[in-house]
């Protein structure tokens, strides 16, 4: 079983009617609904307003893959909680930051660049797979058209990714590295751009397929379980 934890700041769905209409159960609820259908996954949801911001050692210890949706509350995540998540990634936990989570404390600190990008509201996106043999692309043979999405554009200030799986093209002429993988320590990271809160992106079957594939890919192969202390060398 893959133990999946979905973390959502869960703010805009409660503040704005037009967002609540798209995601009445919260963005985490929409992610939960399709991920929990997989028999190899045990899924739980946590939110910013929970004890320890939903990111206690107990919860993280019980997580193989952490999905993260955040936007306006990045600064409300405590440095301690961000550090805990970072340490768990370094020890092998998979991490999937979605959409505006590019700018969350955890990702900024663990990747080490500004994570800045260009953005513009309400554009059509064509999401194109540029790495069809990658496990995250399994079953994605045609470009995905998102009639309405927020445009994210280059230059996207990330470190050089291990692999680029998807490119986004937007109707205003911008392009974006929309699906990228990174490795930090023992942990695997997949950043995935689609998922602006005003549009029903997470109900799209192919977007759901990509996120499902990403969870299976990001599952730890091994978790770090020792501290690599000084080893006494024996000369024979």
Which residue, 15 or 78, is less far from Zn ion as judged by CB?
Answer: 15
At its nearest, how many Å lie between Zn ion and the CB of residue 197?
Answer: 6
Which residue, 74 or 196, is less far from Zn ion as judged by CB?
Answer: 196
The encoded tokens of residue 93 equal: 């936990």
At its nearest, how many Å lie between Zn ion and the CB of residue 196?
Answer: 4
Which residue, 9 or 150, is less far from Zn ion as judged by CB?
Answer: 150
At its nearest, how many Å lie between Zn ion and the CB of residue 9?
Answer: 12
At its nearest, how many Å lie between Zn ion and the CB of residue 122?
Answer: 11
Which residue, 123 or 150, is less far from Zn ion as judged by CB?
Answer: 150
The residues pairing with 126 across neighbouring beta strands, listed in sequence order, are 145, 169
The helix (H) or strand (E) run that includes residue 215 is helix 205-218
Which residue number places its CB atom closest to Zn ion? 196
At its nearest, how many Å lie between Zn ion and the CB of residue 71?
Answer: 6
CB proximity list for 64: less than 8 A, separation 6 or greater:
2, 3, 4, 93, 94, 219, 220
98 neighbors 192 (Cβ within 8 angstroms): yes
Q: Which residues bind Zn ion (CB under 5 A)?
A: 100, 150, 196
CB proximity list for 121: less than 8 A, separation 6 or greater:
150, 151
CB proximity list for 138: less than 8 A, separation 6 or greater:
209, 213
C-alpha–C-alpha distance, residues 227 and 223, integer Å: 12
Which residue, 53 or 193, is less far from Zn ion as judged by CB?
Answer: 193
């Amino acid at each position: 079983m893959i133990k999946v934890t979905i973390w959502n700041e869960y703010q805009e769905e409660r503040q704005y009617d037009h967002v609540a209409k798209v995601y009445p159960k919260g963005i985490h609820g929409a992610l939960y609904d399709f991920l929990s259908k997989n028999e190899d996954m045990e899924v739980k949801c946590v939110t910013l307003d929970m004890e320890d911001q939903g990111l206690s050692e107990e919860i993280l210890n019980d997580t193989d893959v952490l999905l993260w949706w955040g936007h306006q509350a990045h600064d409300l995540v405590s440095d301690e909680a961000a550090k805990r998540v970072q340490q768990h990634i370094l020890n092998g936990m998979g991490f999937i930051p979605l959409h505006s989570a590019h700018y969350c404390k955890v990702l900024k600190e663990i990747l080490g660049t500004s994570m800045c990008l260009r953005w513009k509201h309400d554009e059509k996106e064509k999401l194109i797979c540029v790495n069809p043999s990658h496990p995250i692309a399994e079953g994605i043979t045609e470009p995905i058209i998102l009639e309405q999405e927020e445009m994210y554009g280059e230059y996207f200030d990330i470190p050089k990714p291990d692999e680029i799986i998807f490119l986004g093209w937007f109707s205003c002429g911008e392009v974006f590295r929309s699906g990228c993988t990174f490795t930090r320590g023992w942990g695997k990271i997949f950043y995935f751009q689609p998922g602006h809160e005003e549009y029903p992106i997470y109900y799209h079957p192919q977007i759901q397929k990509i996120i499902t594939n990403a969870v299976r890919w990001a599952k730890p192969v091994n978790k770090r379980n020792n501290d690599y202390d000084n080893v006494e060398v024996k000369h024979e």
